[in-house]
Amino acid sequence: QKEVEQNSGPLSVPEGAIASLNCTYSDRGSQSFFWYRQYSGKSPELIMFIYSNGDKEDGRFTAQLNKASQYVSLLIRDSQPSDSATYLCAVDGDYKLSFGAGTTVTVRA
Amino acid sequence: SAVISQKPSRDICQRGTSLTIQCQVDSQVTMMFWYRQQPGQSLTLIATANQGSEATYESGFVIDKFPISRPNLTFSTLTVSNMSPEDSSIYLCSARTSGSLGEQFFGPGTRLTVL
């Protein structure tokens, strides 16, 4: 499986702020990129996936992809306490996902 | 999207026994996978379940230990054989809806404890 690095956490943000999560990957041939949210004791829940350079927005979430820099990020706008979870970056290579270690986000009320 | 169910949701097993985990998807999917997530860790791919043929295993995982079946496009099983306490983990079934640009979803997981 390919290397996927996420910014180390935990990340603590006040309610209403923007949480910024970063992910770099080693395989230049990777085609698609996924962000999952995982609450404690639960399985990963797909938030977004992106495969074209640029930004992709879905509600309060924006994924940004820069294949030249091998970098993908996730922004969470207007963070809510319910966004407190571990966020996993996953990179597709040959139809198989490689996961980063995850970044734990805590949103302070 | 795809809704994935797994059975059992959790189990406690004795060393040396085997457990079979079932995974059912509510729609036909192109690819199914089995992952393991150990406490406090991220996800590790065990194998890709291929319909009608032998599964494709990742480095460190072998068929004798983790036999997998996939008889059709919506169902797969993973068996954890001859279990030891090191096999205690969460086992997750995953499915991709279509090809390299498809979404990939996860089941609720099976929490296995081996005594």
Q: What single string gives the DSSP state of each residue in A48-64?
A: EEE-SSEEEEETTEEEE
Q: B108 contacts in A (CB within 8 Å)? A: 42-43
CB B38 within 8 A of CB B46: no
What's the pLDDT score for residue B1?
A: 79
Say whether A42 and B33 touch across the interface (CB within 8 A). Answer: no
Say whether B96 and A95 touch across the interface (CB within 8 A). Answer: yes
pLDDT surpassing 70 at residue B115: yes
What's the pLDDT score for residue B23?
A: 98
**Where residue A1 falls among pLDDT bands split at 50, 70, 90?**
low
Say whether A97 and B105 touch across the interface (CB within 8 A). Answer: no
Mean pLDDT, residues A24-40: 93
Interface mutation target, options B51, B56, B104, B111, chain A, most CBs of A under 10 Å:
B104
Mean pLDDT, residues B55-70: 96
Q: What is the C-alpha R_g of chain B?
A: 13
pLDDT surpassing 80 at residue B90: yes
A95: contact with B, CB 8 A cutoff: yes
pLDDT surpassing 80 at residue B2: yes
